[in-house]
Amino acid sequence: MPYLNIKISLEPSAPLAEAIATRLTRITADLLGKKPEVTAVVVEQIPVRHWFTGGRSLASSGRHSFYLEIKITEGSNTKQEKAAYCSHVFSAMQELLGPLDQASYIVLHDVRADSWGFDGKTQEYRFIKAFTQEEGNL
């Protein structure tokens, strides 16, 4: 269960949005061990002329940019896994979008397990339930 929200500096394109969601879901599963079936991805496409770095529109630079925020459960991934994730995401985005401005950001939010969840249950609840069921099987 992660939630990913990515903004990209390109004109809207449904096929590109789908390609980005598919690639991010796969990288998130492969490198962070997250279940694809509960990985949510939102792709927001912003015209390049509306994206600025250093006060200048990217339209004049011929480059693109992205901003990815991903929420994961605190303590579920190591620093090394997160570093590898950032590297792979940047490479994938460069492959999909073309030359990237260096001010393309990835922010991983470690959210406490008792502060979020899905399907009406927190991650903390899921952990406790799994732990108590496991204890009953010992």
What are the structural domain ranges in the chain? 3-112
Whether the CB-CB separation of 37 and 21 falls below 8 Å is answered with no
Residues 6+ apart with CB under 8 A from 114: 122, 123, 124
Digit-coded pLDDT (tens) for 81-131 = 999 999 999 999 999 999 999 999 999 999 999 999 989 999 999 889 888
Q: Which whole-number Å values give the CA distances from 98 to 27, 90, 94, in the listed order?
A: 18, 11, 5
This model's pTM is above 0.85: yes
Digit-coded pLDDT (tens) for 8-56 = 999 999 999 999 999 999 999 999 999 999 999 999 999 999 999 999 9
* Sign for the pseudo-dihedral over CA of 13, 72, 32, 105: positive
Domain spanning 3-112: which CATH class is it, in words? alpha beta
